[in-house]
Structure 1
Amino acid sequence: MTTVPVSMTGTRELVDGALRAAVGRLDPRTYRVAAHHFGWTEADGRPAGAVANHGGKPAAPGRPTGSSGKALRPALALLSARAAGAAPETALPAAVAVELTHAFSLLHDDIMDGDRTRRHRPAAWTIFGEPAAILAGDALLALAGEVLLEAPAPGAQAAARDLAAATRRLIAGQSLDLEFETRQKITLEECLDMAGGKTAALLACSCSIGAVLTGAPEPVAAALAGFGSELGLAFQLVDDLLGIWGDPAVTGKPALSDLRSRKMSLPIVAALGAGTPESARLAGLYRRPVPSGTADLEEIARLVEASGGRAWAEAEAVRRIESAAAHLDAAAPPDDVRAEFLHIADFVTHRDH
């Protein structure tokens, strides 16, 4: 496991105040849902961790309270400004906007997937109900556009347009993912296309939006977006691997969660299309109703690995990072910025959650 990059550890402190100020514009009911989702408050509105002193359960050991995630997208947005020769603070509205958009997608994604936990805490919809969580996600997305268009920067309109286009691609990818749930056959190319929208679109935008906001030349922004697109596919590949073989104590999701939900993730699709006896056995098991125990799920995981799905996903993630590095070289950022981008890429491919 690699250490968390400096740009990510420092970003949360830099972005947190602006993010809280933006979310503070929401009406009280919507704010309560959003604040819980970001990890700032408990379900009853008290500051995160307060329940530990009032008869509730404390935070999980080693898990900080009040954390809203890894700050990956905001860190990339700030780095992209530095790649274009601007101070990171000039891209603060961009960093806030991509984090708001990411939060919108997670609030909706938890409902669509029926996920009851998020970062070791109850998902917002399980506490406030699905309608309230949907509305909170919608509000955060609208807020993202507001924050960008208000930015006193030369590229504010272009950045808002790019984020809107990335969100449209994100939704298209999510829609394709839902369609996969009712289809018997899915090609690997289709699955990669889905991931390119659902995950990579917003990461590509995050890697270029700071540069766009500060008025960087189009070739620089395009190269940074190319880096982010490849990084996004690597991120999804690792996410899919963790969805099968990740440690529940670290990921915050049940063991073998993607198999229990019969998700057509990249390792699964690669294994199903491998044309081996194990692939045929896997296809038969995957069509059956979800079992109540874990024995069948463990057998499915074994077959995915035996069919080469795990090895393909691991190798493809490495290949995507190599391709990302080539795009980054085309952007020609300062050496220290390039090193930090690559450190984040390494973190993405070696993370355990």
Structure 2
Amino acid sequence: MTSQTGLQVPVPPALDRCRILVEPALTTAVRSLHPLPRLMTSFSLGWCDADGRPTSAPGGKGIRQALAVLGTEAVGAPGDLAVPAAVAVELVHTFSLVHDDIMDGDERRRHQESAWKAFGTGPAVLTGDALFALAVRTLAGAGGDHGGTAVRHLAEAMGELVHGQADDLVFESRPWVGTDAVGIPEYQAMAARKTGALLGCSAVLGPVLAGAPALLVSALSEAGRQLGLAFQAVDDLLGIWGDPATTGKPVHSDLRRRKKTLPVLAAMALDPVAARHLVGLLGSGMPVDADDAYRAAAIVEEAGGREFALEDARRHVASARECLRAVPLAERATDELVEIAEYLLDRRL
């Protein structure tokens, strides 16, 4: 991976360590599914192609499962205690991506066709439902004195995720200007639910299973939520300026879809002249061609939207670090969590 400065950004070793710990249980869980959603899940995770042949296609980076393991180690419990939680959040994340691609009409995901494009919309909806059910079953099966509390945390996070996704859908039909236009605070509230809730949940499910003190659980939850906001800000940057060779999606993809993302909303708030030009390019309801998308990206950058979003991501990563350092967590796991937080700023840029 390279950063936006062109320098190689090393993948934190903790991501691979956590993946090795969690993957056997994740594989076992996926194998328990009906053959159709099993195939589609394996495809979505990058384990096989659409015909079921093993492949080396890149899957996700495993951020959420790593948060589950490291959060557990941070409260002094063994990482393997978090495996059911890590599997559950990875399944929920995959479910959310499968359904998100359907809603957004995205045909590509991680350098291959999205699940609905490869298998059809109906099977993709069914697969998402199967993953959600499997996630709950996996976490409930962890048992122990705190299993019920962990399931409640997951259910609450899922409710927030759906709320945020609904807001994101509604934003598409909202006007670009006027009293009903989407503002930055409203957008960030959506991102806190759509992306932040699951990362916050990921960081605390293992500690909850371990019976960690409320002070530590609260700090880890807030750190995860802050990372979620940083993650979404960087995603928004990638949706405009990400390299297709690394993102697996076309350049300027969010602009082509006229999405109201943080860099665009910031540019409009910072520069009224830029706002008028962007409304002309993105607000007509007509398809945005490659030339118009290129012009829109240049306007957003010149107006300061790109730097605003990057600075926003930096600020949320700094807040996550502060949350982790403010309470008595295990030093090594905390350092690894901070390293992952820093890594999120440069992923695929």
TM over 0.5: yes
Distance in 2 (CA, whole Å) between partners of 1:158 and 1:292 is: 47
Q: Is the 8 A contact 2:263 2:306 kept in 1?
A: yes
Matched, 1:43 2:34: no
Distance in 1 (CA, whole Å) between partners of 2:293 and 2:118 is: 29
Matched, 1:247 2:243: yes
> What are the superposed Cα offsets for residues 235-278 of structure 1, whole Å, 9 maximum, x if unpaired?
10011001101111111000100000001111111112224312
Distance in 1 (CA, whole Å) between partners of 2:22 and 2:130 is: 19
Q: Is the 8 A contact 1:234 1:318 kept in 2?
A: yes
Matched, 1:28 2:19: no
2:107 alignment counterpart: 116
> What are the superposed Cα offsets for residues 19-63 of structure 1, whole Å, 9 maximum, x if unpaired?
011111111122121121112221112222xxxxxxxxxxxxxxx
1:237 alignment counterpart: 233
2:22 alignment counterpart: 15
Aligned residue identity for 1:22: A
> What are the superposed Cα offsets for residues 270-325 of structure 1, whole Å, 9 maximum, x if unpaired?
11222431222112211134556421111100111122111111111111111111
Which consecutive unaligned segments of at least 5 residues does structure 1 have? 49-64
> What are the superposed Cα offsets for residues 39-97 of structure 1, whole Å, 9 maximum, x if unpaired?
2221112222xxxxxxxxxxxxxxxx154310110001000110110010011000000
Distance in 2 (CA, whole Å) between partners of 1:325 and 1:138 is: 35
Distance in 2 (CA, whole Å) between partners of 1:274 and 1:24 is: 51
Q: Is the 8 A contact 1:78 1:89 kept in 2?
A: yes
Distance in 2 (CA, whole Å) between partners of 1:171 and 1:115 is: 18
Q: Is the 8 A contact 1:100 1:144 kept in 2?
A: yes
- Structure 1 181/292 Cα, relative in aligned 2: closer, same or farther at 3 Å? closer
Matched, 1:165 2:156: yes
Distance in 1 (CA, whole Å) between partners of 2:137 and 2:109 is: 26
Give the C-alpha shift of residue 349 in structure 1.
0.7
Distance in 2 (CA, whole Å) between partners of 1:226 and 1:341 is: 13
1:74 alignment counterpart: 65
Distance in 2 (CA, whole Å) between partners of 1:127 and 1:275 is: 42
Q: Which moved more, 1:98-107 or 1:111-120?
A: 111-120
Distance in 1 (CA, whole Å) between partners of 2:341 and 2:304 is: 24
2:206 alignment counterpart: 210
Q: Is the 8 A contact 2:258 2:288 kept in 1?
A: no
Aligned residue identity for 1:150: G
Q: Is the 8 A contact 1:155 1:213 kept in 2?
A: yes
Distance in 2 (CA, whole Å) between partners of 1:67 and 1:293 is: 29
Q: Is the 8 A contact 1:224 1:331 kept in 2?
A: no
Give the C-alpha shift of residue 334 in structure 1.
1.6
Q: Is the 8 A contact 1:234 1:317 kept in 2?
A: yes
Matched, 1:88 2:86: no
Distance in 1 (CA, whole Å) between partners of 2:313 and 2:15 is: 21
1:183 alignment counterpart: 174
Q: Is the 8 A contact 1:43 1:127 kept in 2?
A: yes
Say which SS state the counterpart of residue 199 (structure 1) adopts.
Answer: helix
Q: Is the 8 A contact 1:204 1:224 kept in 2?
A: yes
**TM-score (normalizing by structure 1):** 0.93
In the TM superposition, structure 1's runs of 4+ consecutive aligned residues that sit over 3 Å from their partners are 289-293
Aligned residue identity for 1:72: I
**TM-score (normalizing by structure 2):** 0.94
Which consecutive unaligned segments of at least 5 residues does structure 2 have? 4-8, 176-180
